[in-house]
Amino acid sequence: TEHGAKVAQLSACTKDNTHPDWRITTDYGVKQSNTDEWLKVASEDHVGPALLEDAHGREKIMRFDHERIPERVVHARGAGAFGTFKLLESAADVTSAGVLTDTSRSTPVFVRFSTVLGSRGSPDTVRDVRGFAVKFYTEEGNWDLVGNNIPVFFIQDAIKFPDVIHAAKPEPQNEIPQAQSAHNNFWDFMYMAPEATHMFLWAMSDRAIPRSYRMMEGFGVNTFTLINEKGERSFVKFHWKPTLGVHSLVWDEAIKINGADPDFHRKDLFMSIENGAYPKWRFGIQVLPESREHDFPDFDILDATKIWPEDEIPIRWIGELELNRNPDEYFPEVEQIAFCTSHVVPGIGFSDDPLLQGRNFSYFDTQISRLGVNFQELPINRPVCPVMNHNRDGKLRHTITKGPANYWPNRFGAVPPAKPSEGAYIDYPAKIAGIKARLRSKKFGYHWNQAQLFYNSLTEIEKEHVAAALSFELDHCEDNVVYDRMCERLADIDLALAQKVATMVGGPIPQQAGRPNHGKKTRGISQLEKPAET
């Protein structure tokens, strides 16, 4: 089974240092009698000079000097575990992917949860989005579903990702503030990029201070595609729903825990698995046939700042994920795992979602700088199926490939491309027409409607929490321009919310609701039917 294959692969690289026969050796295998005293010119009553000759001493220090690698440029802080993905119902009507059609399979997975903005040592319970990244080791290769616990994103086009992350990470002149989003640059960008409005309301809600990784939903966010045996394509969004339900901390708790127990979430995950309380999620797909792409006048289905309403496109719950084994060692497993949205298997494809297209480039690229070009050879990243091609060399290459040809085509016919009947990945032959330009589709300009839907969907106490979170955040913006504009933006979404926040912070109270969508002629508050106040 794939499970057996992954376990065997990992155990081939695993050493259990509790065995009584082990003795300290150098890295080149020679046993050492003393690892506590540097080789010196010394006597019992005289400390003399240390000798450069001490290869063991030098090796120990030099290995230590190089222990750190660059942390992830985002999502640096995380925790992870192994588990099992079980398909309960086949989706063969929409995809040919074995992992989503073969109900007899149980696919090994590794999941890494993370915060986005804090550095590797930052506390767990900050207000932030959480990463929910799943690597499926399938028979047809690795499928990485790199998601978050919030179903939408701040921006629509990958070219703005460096900007949104620069604005959200600590400010460049002083690296303040760490791990929290409460600062001028972040809120400056939230105003200047109106497409971020929907997501920042989610980020100000209780979703951004989860009680536990085990109690978070997960979302693929971007629109992917599924292709079935007949070659028909559908659009798809991926969902994870925790069987424990969605639960959050309250802000005061979260702040206290940050100080008292900064490892709160990673400890909770580790201990629950250690104690056999295995966290579980249902896996769901929202599927839309290609023919319905333009059926939705209020949003573009390729816009990552929008959800697909579940009443119009219901979720099919077809699988189950269980996390049931802790890593043996953090660094080689959790730190060195490398997710790439570009890792998909036959039957799953991409869409023209301009955020996804950029992500597909970015992850692979960043792994080269974080881990090196041979990162796929690391035990945690290795697929369970055979890997063979004519890629070669690079730093720290492990694989030794026999045979005279390292190119294709070659006179031996060695390692040819696979045929469709042999399970080859086939790129969907999509029809494309258009002009080459830096443009976005008109529907990408409708920023308020779903932001309002989200805010209006909250209960009164949840709305109170959003107002309190916003007042905490905006109170930390000493730049009045940032603060004043943000209160106007809140009034675009909900006047009462804006007035409440302004009152709490003690700033000018906005009087006017619902400006049109950032000055553009698009659907704003006036078109939205607001639910009756209860």
Question: What is the set of active-site residues?
Answer: 75, 148
The Cα angle at residue 481 between residues 476 and 487, in degrees rounded to 5: 75
Interaction residues for ligand HEM, span 208-267 (CB under 6 A): 221
Q: How far is the CB of 110 from ligand HEM (least distance, A)?
A: 10
The nearest distance, CB 114 to ligand HEM, in angstroms, is 5
Q: 363 among the known binding-site residues?
A: yes
Does residue number 118 form part of the binding site for ligand HEM (CB under 6 A)? no
Site membership for ligand HEM, residue 499 (CB under 6 A): no
Least distance in Å: CB of 305 to ligand HEM? Answer: 10
Region from 32-40, 69-77, 267-275, 487-495 binding ligand HEM, contact rule CB under 6 A: 69-77
Q: Which residues of 449-483 are buried (b: 16+ CB within 10 A; e: fewer)?
A: bbbbbbbeeeeeeebebbbbbbbbbbebbeeeebb
User: Nearest 5 degrees, angle CA 268-CA 270-CA 272?
Assistant: 65
Instruction: Determine the Cα–Cα distance for residues 171 and 162; give it in Å rounded to an integer.
Output: 14
Among 243, 366, 374, 391, interactor with ligand HEM by CB under 6 A? 366
Helices of type H across 275-421: 330, 354-370
Tell me, residue by residue from 289 to 308, as one string, x for binding to ligand HEM by CB under 6 A and - for no binding. Answer: ---------------x----
- Closest approach, Cβ 342 to ligand HEM, in A, equals 11
By rule CB under 6 A, what count of residues binds ligand HEM?
28
Contact call for residue 142 and ligand HEM (CB under 6 A): no
Range in contact with ligand HEM (rule: CB under 6 A) among 146-154, 398-406, 451-459, 512-520: 146-154
Residue (of 177, 156, 159) closest to 168 by Cα position:
177
- In this chain, which stretch among 83-91, 143-151, 413-421, 437-445 interacts with ligand HEM, using CB under 6 A? 143-151
3-state secondary structure 104-152: CCEEEEEEEEEECCCCCCCCCCCCCCEEEEEEEEECCEEEEEEEECCCC
286 binds ligand HEM (CB under 6 A): no
Nearer residue to ligand HEM within complex by CB, 366 or 374? 366
Q: Of residues 338-357, which lie at the interface with ligand HEM (CB under 6 A)?
A: 338-339, 355
Q: Which of residues 154-213 bind ligand HEM (CB under 6 A)?
A: 158, 161
The binder of ligand HEM chosen from 2, 57, 78, 203 (CB under 6 A): 78
Stretch that binds ligand HEM, among 305-313, 333-341, 424-432, 491-499 (CB under 6 A): 333-341
CA 284 to CA 87: how far, in whole Å?
A: 10
Instruction: Kindly give the pairing relationship between strand 348-350 and strand 218-219.
Output: unpaired
Closer of 77 and 518 to ligand HEM (Cβ): 77
Angle at 521 between CA 516 and CA 524, to 5 degrees: 40
CB of 496 to ligand HEM, least distance (A): 30
Smallest distance, ligand HEM to C-beta of residue 455, A: 21
Non-local CB neighbours of 300 within 8 Å, separated by 6+ positions: 306, 441, 443, 444
8-state DSSP, 46: B
Say what angle helices 449-457 and 480-493 make with each other, to 10 degrees. Answer: 80
> Interface with ligand HEM includes 430 (CB under 6 A)?
no
| Contact between 79 and ligand HEM per CB under 6 A | no
- Beta bridge pairs of residue 46: 43
What lies within 8 Å, CB to CB, of 408 at 6+ separation is: 390, 415, 416, 417
- The sign one gets for the Cα dihedral 512, 517, 521, 525 is negative
Q: How far is the CB of 360 from ligand HEM (least distance, A)?
A: 9
Question: Which residue in 322, 352, 421 sits closest to 81, CA to CA?
Answer: 322
Residue 43 in tokens: 């006597």
> From the list 86, 166, 370, 515, which residue makes contact with ligand HEM (rule: CB under 6 A)?
370
Q: Which of residues 119-138 bind ligand HEM (CB under 6 A)?
A: 131, 133
Task: Give the span between the Cα atoms of 448 and 368, in whole angstroms.
Answer: 38
Question: Rule CB under 6 A: is residue 111 a binding residue for ligand HEM?
Answer: no
One-letter amino acid identity for 389? N
Q: In the bound complex, what is the minimum distance in angstroms from residue 355's beta carbon to ligand HEM?
A: 5
Q: Which two tokens stand for residue 391?
A: 């890629």
In Å, how far from its chain's centre is CA 58? 39
Residue nearest to ligand HEM (CB): 131
Binding status of residue 72 toward ligand HEM by CB under 6 A: yes
Binding residues for heme: 363
Instruction: Kindly list the residues in this chain that would bind ligand HEM in the complex (CB under 6 A).
Output: 72-75, 78, 112, 114, 131, 133, 146-148, 153, 158, 161, 221, 304, 337-339, 355, 358-359, 362-363, 366-367, 370
Binding residues: 363
